[in-house]
Amino acid sequence: MRAAPAAPVSERVAFAAWLEQMELRDEARKYWRALATERPDDEKLRVLATE
């Protein structure tokens, strides 16, 4: 059920959003941080990574 590290960005975003909906914020934050590292110009990912 977990998104693979090599999965497309859209799949990892969807998985992180699902984790948020399930109130698994600490786990979701791991994905947001990884995505923000890959896309440093994306302000929304930076915000999600620090919430």
Residue 3, pLDDT score? 87
pTM of the complete model: 0.88
Q: Are 9 and 31 in contact (CB under 8 A)?
A: no
Residue 4 has pLDDT above 90, yes or no: no
Which amino acid is located at 24 in the chain? Answer: L
Q: What is the pLDDT of residues 18-43, one digit of tens each?
A: 999 999 999 999 999 999 999 999 99
Q: Are 31 and 12 in contact (CB under 8 A)?
A: yes
Residue 1, pLDDT score? 77
Residue 11 tokens, joined: 């799949």
Annotated domain spans of the chain: 9-50
CA dihedral 33, 31, 35, 44 (to 10 degrees): -70
Residue 2, pLDDT score? 85
